[in-house]
Structure formats: structure tokens, C-alpha cells
Structure 1
Amino acid sequence: MTQRPSLQVAVVMRRERVPGDMSRWQPWRWVLHDVTGHDVLPHAEHFGSVPRCMRQTDDEQMWLHPGFTVELFKDDAEGYELNASSPAPCWFVLWRMEEEPGISSERMAVPTMVSLSYHDAGRWLDAQENVDQVPAPAEVVAWMKAFIDEHLVVEAKRRRRPESFRTLQDRFGNPASVSTEKNRGGGQHNGGGDGQ
């Protein structure tokens, strides 16, 4: 069985203080800070296997979440192409607010999936998930483009049938016909006399 091309990455989430009047309702917010480690091997030895706080000040916390595998799938080559051909190709990260017993006493942003596919990001957003993005490095974009060049199948565009060839239907969906003959005088007159 052939292995899919893949990268090991770590996700860095940042908890930052909300400035101004909005802080009355929400004093903190979580944002995606970075996706890193695609070029570091062995990944687990460098990053470990559990989330950890990298930095903490009065105004922010930085949390590292290691151990994500980003795989490229042949049947999603179009999703990678949409990302790679955009003005700023990026990593997409789905994250959720969760409790992490033993790591933090408060709910925190926990990344659950990382992808380079525009289609994945669209599905996650359609499902009302939290999805953020950060720029992908040039070497990752080049790796993705090499995969696209090898596996993207461009389907021939089907010629659209001109509107004049469409079958006519009435408002109930039944076939309708059009006559070019003129019907003058509103049809036959079945009045009282023949007028002569």
C-alpha cells in the first residue's frame, strides 16, 4: 500500500487580552498564531506529544499543540489547487473551545485538524466550526504544487446547451407548446345571430 504524502506539524494558539470596551463582555480571545514544525524531524522528540504553555504574560498566553499529520489526498487535488493559486496560500486549522484537565484549569482553544485543502476549510465553516488560517511557507506551497501537478485532473468543460433548445414547461412542470398562428378576435363567437 502506498503511503500518502504527509507532514508533521504543531499548532500554536494564542490567548490575548481583548482591548477597549469589548473587554467588559469578553476579557480574552483565542486566535491561531502559527503552524510550525513541518521541517523538524523527528517531530515528537522536538515538540513532545502533549500541549504545553510556551509563554505567559499578563496580556497573553502561547500554547503549543504538537502531533498533527497533514496528508495530501489525490481526490482533493482541486482543493489544494484552490489554495495554492490564491494570493496567499495558507494552512487551515479547525479548533474548538474545550476543557483540558491536567493542562489548564480553564477552557482553552484546542486545535483538532490541520489541512491545506480549501474544500476542507469550506466544509468546516459550513458546519459552523472555528476555522482560522495562517500563511503557509514557500517550501510547503511548492510541495503542495508538485502534488497538484501530478494528480489534478482537469475535467473538460461541458458545452452548455443554448437556451433556445430548452424544452418549454408551464408553471406546473408540464410540457408546453407555442403556436405561431394568430388567433384574431378572441376565438370563435357563439353568439345569438350570424349577423346577416
Structure 2
Amino acid sequence: MHNPARYDSMPLGVVLRRTPGVTRWAKWAWKAVAVLPGAAQADWRVLRSDGDVVEYHAATPTLELHGADTESYVHGLAARIPAIYVILRQSDAPGGPPLEVLLVTASPYEAQDYADSGEEIIEKVPMSEALIAWVHAFIEKHHVEEEFKKRRRDKVRTDKVELSVGDPRIRKAGDVYQAPQMRKERIN
């Protein structure tokens, strides 16, 4: 589970925009365009409609912040435009919505993990000033800068040459594998 002292969460509504597709293979194009901090639960509620362009409050997943992930939040806030990552998946439910909102995250590292699978759609939605302040306050409270530790190398001697070491359990020199260089040296 999680340590309640190093954890915070907030419901975050996801707004998806449907526009007409630009190719004959895709009737509609979908894009996450906004997040609504503290939103109530919704299930594909129409927010705005303008001809064929429709915006839906698709779902309200919980944005979770964990104390162990503060490094990734720091990285995310350092971006030119800090973003919330919306993770979507195509839905196969007949007659249901075309996309399923899996989760929302402030961690670019977690979003990258989902992008690596190729199964999900990852959308970046700019954070509002209030959301940036909330994530920043969490970082201030829980982030611990890790000290860089240089790895020490083993003290291995690289000047020592061992040809034809073989198996030490075999006593006869003729039964031990000999490197080709050793054979030439013994013959000469």
C-alpha cells in the first residue's frame, strides 16, 4: 500500500474533444484538451458542442502523488510547459464510448512506461497554475535530493596473462586445453 504521510490525491476530470477525422480511415479524431481539478464523477457528459466538434467530460480518475516519485514530478515541473499525462486506451465495448480513460499522472516517467507498450494513447495536457502549485507543494514537503555516489571499480589486474589455464583437477599436462600460442611456443 502507500504511506499516508507521503501520499496525496485529487479527483481530476478529463475533457476529450472529438473532431471530424481528416482521412477516410478515421471518422473521428480524439484529443485530451483539459483537466478539471476537483471535478465530480462524470461518464461522457457533453460539455460543449459546435457542429461536429464536441467536448466531453469523459471520466474523473484520481491523480495520485507518491513520495517515492518526487524526482519525476520535479522533472515534469521543469518542462517548458508542465503537463498532466492522460493515459487512454481504445475501447472495444459495442455501443460504448470509443476510449477508456485509464489514469492521469503528473509523472513523465510513468507516462513513458505506458508509451513503451504501444497499447495506450498518451496525451499531454498543460497543468493549470493551481495544479502546478499543488504538485510543487507536495514536492517541497516530500522530496529528498539523493546524493550522487560514484561507483568504485574492482581492483582487477589487467597486466597478468594466463594462457592454457585449464581445469586444475586434471594432473596431466596433455589432458589440459592449450591455447594455440602455447603449442607453438613448446614446438619451437
Provide closer, same or farther for how the CA distance between residues 26 and 166 of structure 1 changes in structure 2, counting only shifts above 3 A: farther
For 1:31, the equivalent position in structure 2 comes to 31
Provide closer, same or farther for how the CA distance between residues 166 and 81 of structure 1 changes in structure 2, counting only shifts above 3 A: farther
What is the percentage of aligned positions where both structures have the same residue? 26
| Matching of residues 31-70 of structure 1 within 5 Å | 31-36=31-36, 38=37, 40=38, 43-44=39-40, 48-70=41-63
Q: Output the amino acid matched with 2:116.
A: D
Q: Structure 2 length normalisation: TM-score?
A: 0.72
Larger displacement relative to structure 2 (50-59 or 113-122): 50-59
Q: How many residues matched?
A: 163
Provide closer, same or farther for how the CA distance between residues 167 and 24 of structure 1 changes in structure 2, counting only shifts above 3 A: farther
| 1: CA distance, partners of 2:63 / 2:82 | 15
Question: What secondary structure does 2:4 align onto?
Answer: coil
The answer on whether the counterparts of 1:13 and 1:109 sit within 8 Å (CA) in structure 2 is no
Provide closer, same or farther for how the CA distance between residues 71 and 50 of structure 1 changes in structure 2, counting only shifts above 3 A: same
Give 1:134 deviation, angstroms: 0.9
Question: What secondary structure does 2:32 align onto?
Answer: strand
Q: Output the amino acid matched with 2:29.
A: R
Aligned with 1:89 (options 74, 82, 87): 82
Provide closer, same or farther for how the CA distance between residues 63 and 162 of structure 1 changes in structure 2, counting only shifts above 3 A: same
| 2: CA distance, partners of 1:53 / 1:60 | 11
Larger displacement relative to structure 2 (147-156 or 128-137): 147-156
Question: What secondary structure does 1:72 align onto?
Answer: strand
| 2: CA distance, partners of 1:14 / 1:166 | 61
| 2: CA distance, partners of 1:139 / 1:11 | 16
Q: Structure 1 length normalisation: TM-score?
A: 0.70
For 2:10, the equivalent position in structure 1 comes to 7
Give 1:96 deviation, angstroms: 1.2
Tell me the C-alpha RMSD between the 2 structures: 2.9
| 1: CA distance, partners of 2:97 / 2:67 | 37
| 2: CA distance, partners of 1:167 / 1:65 | 63
| 2: CA distance, partners of 1:167 / 1:138 | 58
Give 1:84 deviation, angstroms: 1.1
| 2: CA distance, partners of 1:14 / 1:73 | 30
Provide closer, same or farther for how the CA distance between residues 166 and 144 of structure 1 changes in structure 2, counting only shifts above 3 A: farther
| 2: CA distance, partners of 1:68 / 1:2 | 19
Deviations 1:1-51 (A, max 9, x none): 7363221110011111133xxx12223211111111x1x5xx43xxx4432
Provide closer, same or farther for how the CA distance between residues 137 and 167 of structure 1 changes in structure 2, counting only shifts above 3 A: farther
| 2: CA distance, partners of 1:50 / 1:177 | 71
For 2:173, the equivalent position in structure 1 comes to none
| 2: CA distance, partners of 1:134 / 1:121 | 12
Give 1:177 deviation, angstroms: 2.5
For 1:183, the equivalent position in structure 2 comes to none
For 1:177, the equivalent position in structure 2 comes to 160
